[in-house]
């Protein structure tokens, strides 16, 4: 046997060969469609923060390897942010770690904290890197399905409790939740915290949308709940909060021993990253509340614009309490237009049919049938783009009323 006779991609990663985003983005280009698939803003973050990055670069700050845990200015700014927002006190030197986006923080946490065979409970639908990172760490993922209930996706607490076994090591939690737009409630978080304490579990929480919560929803970090401080790694990112997803500046906070463990894995992944951008993000985190309020309000208006368009087109629209995304149910469009409720077939046809690209939520599930009729649209786009998308989608409603459409 030669080294080419065996598949090159190993068994751990075989199921993660390609992502849906590549296929759908290619389809968007081919058909000239509006791409509401991938979740990145089409407007860059604050000018003054971009200027701060330019200044750092020109002044020779961060052009060489920054310190392993991140520059002190940024670690101090992250600690101050956690203190000001949530009353969580962290020592910038031992309890804060800067990473190459939240993606690296998640990967490093799982690689550091799991032994092969450890079970990790994560909600499905889940962010696409979770399954791959659990696999790379040799862990076993155990999905708990979020299901629609009274217009939002909800956690079934009994199902969560039943999913815990003697092999469970870690809960991987994401709130505000991508792709469903759900923000876990105080009741849900209290139950998660009680379970973690009772079964002595570690918790990794992905809070990259902490500043994108709407209406009366509130982001409550799990680390603030009783018994959670020393068992929780909290993860944030400048990408979503400041509309600089290309900068890849993220962070993890937690107890000194957890952060030191995550750092051990992180140092052999990227070692360090994003030098000059770290200086700019330190300034961004210190922006006045008016920035965060205006950003949230701007995104709320975008959410409402797209939600109205989707509802008029005939989708069932689930309430987005947080994130960049709206999840819809395609079945009310009718069997023909919704491809019998098959989100994959629907999303492959939508660019031709309406000139819009969306993502089938089924790709974020292990139990694909549970996610089959759900489709995700991103609203972190310019108003004119969302208006045009809504106009195009409305043509589905007309077609739904035409016999034989
Ligand atoms: C975008 C996103 C990430 C990745 O964040 P980066 O800082 O770009 O690495 C992680 N988790 C969720 C839920 C996301 O939507």
Residues paired with residue 119 on neighbouring β-strands, in sequence order: 140, 168
Q: How far is CA 237 from CA 42, 249, 272, 291, in A?
A: 18, 6, 15, 16
Q: How far apart are CA 5 and CA 7, in angstroms?
A: 7
Separation of 174 CA from ligand 1 center, angstroms?
Answer: 10
State pLDDT tens for residues 72-123: 999 999 999 999 999 999 999 999 999 999 999 999 999 999 999 999 999 9
User: How many A from CA of 281 to the centre of ligand 1?
Assistant: 16
Nearest ligand 1 atom to alpha carbon 100: 9
Q: 5-9, 65-69, 74-78: which has the minimum mean pLDDT?
A: 5-9
Query: Which band of pLDDT confidence, cut at 50, 70 and 90, is reported for residue 337?
Result: very high
Nearest CA to ligand 1 atom 5: 102
Which ligand 1 atom sits nearest the alpha carbon of residue 237? 7
170: phi > 0 → left, psi -120 to 50 → alpha, else beta; which? beta
Name the 3-class secondary structure at 95. Answer: coil
User: How many contiguous H segments (helices) and E segments (strands) does the chain have?
Assistant: 14, 15
Listed in order, strand segments (DSSP E) in 49-95 are none
In this prediction, residues 147-172 reach a mean pLDDT of 97
pLDDT bracket for residue 399 (50, 70, 90): confident
Locate 138 and state its tokens.
């040799």
Q: Do the strands 359-360 and 374-378 form a parallel or antiparallel pair, or are they unpaired?
A: antiparallel
Rounded distance, CA 102 to CA 251, Å?
A: 6
pLDDT (0 to 100) of residue 2: 62
The pair of three-digit structure tokens given for residue 142, joined into one six-digit string: 């155990």
Which residue from 101, 324, 359 has its CB within 8 A of the most atoms of ligand 1, so it is best to mutate? 101
Q: How far does residue 6's CA lie from ligand 1's centre (Å)? A: 33
- The Å distance, Cα 343 to ligand 1 centre, comes to 23
Average confidence score pLDDT of the chain:
95
What is the best residue among 180, 209, 237 to mutate for testing ligand 1's pocket, by most ligand atoms within 8 Å of CB?
Answer: 237
pLDDT score at 401? 63
**C-alpha–C-alpha distance, residues 318 and 27, integer Å:** 26
**From ligand 1's centre to the CA of 364, what distance in Å?**
14
**What is the per-residue pLDDT for 398?**
84
Pairwise CA distance, residues 315 & 71, whole Å: 47
What separation in Å is there between the alpha carbon of 369 and the centre of ligand 1?
25
Tell whether pTM > 0.85: yes
Kindly report, residue by residue over 249-290, the tens digit of the pLDDT.
999 999 999 999 999 999 999 999 999 999 999 999 999 999
Least confident of 8-12, 44-48, 62-66, 185-189: 8-12
**d(Cα 361, Cα 340) in Å, to the nearest integer?**
15
The per-residue pLDDT for 405 is 45
| CA 148 / ligand 1 centre spacing (Å) | 23
Strands (DSSP E) along 161-216, which ranges? Answer: 168-174, 202-206
**CA 103–ligand 1 middle distance (angstroms):** 6
Closest residue (by CA) to atom 15 of ligand 1? 178
Q: Is the pLDDT of residue 62 over 90?
A: yes
147: three-class secondary structure by DSSP: strand
- What distance in angstroms lies between residue 296's CA and the mean position of ligand 1's atoms? 18
Q: What is the pLDDT of residue 352?
A: 94
pLDDT band at 1 (very low <50, low <70, confident <90, very high): low
Q: Is pLDDT above 90 for 17?
A: no
3-class DSSP assignment, residue 282: helix
pLDDT value at position 404?
46
Mean pLDDT along residues 158-181: 98
Quick one: average pLDDT of 228-247? Answer: 97
Measured at the CA of 31, the angle between CA 25 and CA 36, to 5 degrees, comes to 45
CA distance 360 to 349: 12
Q: What would the two tokens of residue 260 be? A: 């030191």
Q: Strand pairing of 147-149 and 152-154?
A: antiparallel
Give the whole-angstrom CA distance, residue 329 versus residue 153: 12
Per-residue pLDDT of 316-330, as tens digits, reads 999 999 999 999 999
CB 374 within 8 A of CB 178: no
Q: Which residues line ligand 1 (CB under 6 A)?
A: 101-103, 127, 174, 178, 206, 208, 237, 239-240, 245, 248, 250
**Which ligand 1 atom is nearest residue 103's CA?**
9
Among 9-23, 96-110, 355-369, the minimum mean pLDDT is found in 9-23
The minimum-distance atom of ligand 1 relative to the CA of 245 is 8
Residue with the larger pLDDT of the pair 367 and 5: 367
Structure tokens at 241: 């909060």
């Amino acid at each position: 046997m030669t080294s080419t006779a065996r598949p090159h991609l190993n068994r751990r990663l075989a199921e993660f060969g390609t992502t849906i985003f590549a296929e759908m983005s290619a389809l968007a280009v081919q058909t000239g469609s509006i791409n509401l698939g991938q979740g990145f803003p089409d407007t860059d973050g604050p000018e003054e923060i971009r200027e701060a990055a330019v200044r750092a670069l020109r002044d020779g700050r961060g052009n060489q390897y920054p310190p392993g845990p991140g520059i002190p200015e940024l670690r101090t700014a992250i600690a101050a942010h956690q203190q000001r927002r949530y009353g969580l006190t962290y020592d910038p030197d031992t309890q804060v770690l800067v990473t190459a986006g939240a993606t690296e923080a998640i990967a490093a946490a799982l690689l550091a904290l799991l032994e092969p065979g450890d079970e990790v409970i994560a909600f499905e639908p889940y962010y696409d890197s979770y399954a791959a990172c659990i696999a790379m760490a040799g862990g076993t993922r155990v999905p708990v399905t979020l299901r629609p209930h009274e217009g939002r996706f909800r956690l079934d607490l009994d199902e969560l409790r039943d999913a815990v076994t003697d092999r469970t090591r870690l809960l991987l939690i994401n709130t505000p939740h991508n792709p469903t737009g759900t923000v876990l409630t105080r009741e849900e978080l209290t139950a998660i915290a009680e379970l973690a304490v009772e079964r002595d579990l570690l918790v990794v929480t992905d809070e990259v949308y902490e500043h994108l919560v709407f209406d009366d929803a509130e982001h409550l970090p799990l680390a603030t709940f009783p018994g959670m401080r020393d068992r929780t790694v909290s993860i944030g990112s400048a990408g979503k909060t400041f509309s600089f997803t290309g900068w890849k500046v993220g962070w993890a906070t937690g107890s000194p021993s957890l952060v030191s463990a995550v750092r051990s894995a992180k140092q052999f992944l990227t070692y360090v990253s994003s030098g000059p951008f770290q200086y700019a993000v330190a300034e961004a985190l210190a922006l006045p509340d008016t920035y965060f309020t205006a950003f949230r309000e701007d995104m709320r208006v975008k959410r409402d614009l797209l939600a109205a368009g989707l509802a008029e087109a005939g989708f069932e629209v689930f309430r987005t309490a947080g994130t960049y995304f709206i999840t819809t149910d395609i079945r009310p469009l009718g069997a023909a237009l919704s491809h019998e409720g098959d989100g994959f077939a629907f999303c492959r046809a939508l660019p031709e049919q309406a000139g819009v690209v969306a993502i089938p939520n089924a790709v974020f599930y292990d139990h694909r049938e549970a996610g089959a009729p759900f489709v995700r649209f991103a609203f972190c786009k310019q108003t004119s783009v969302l208006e045009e998308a809504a106009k195009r989608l409305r043509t589905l409603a007309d077609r739904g009323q035409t016999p034989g459409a």
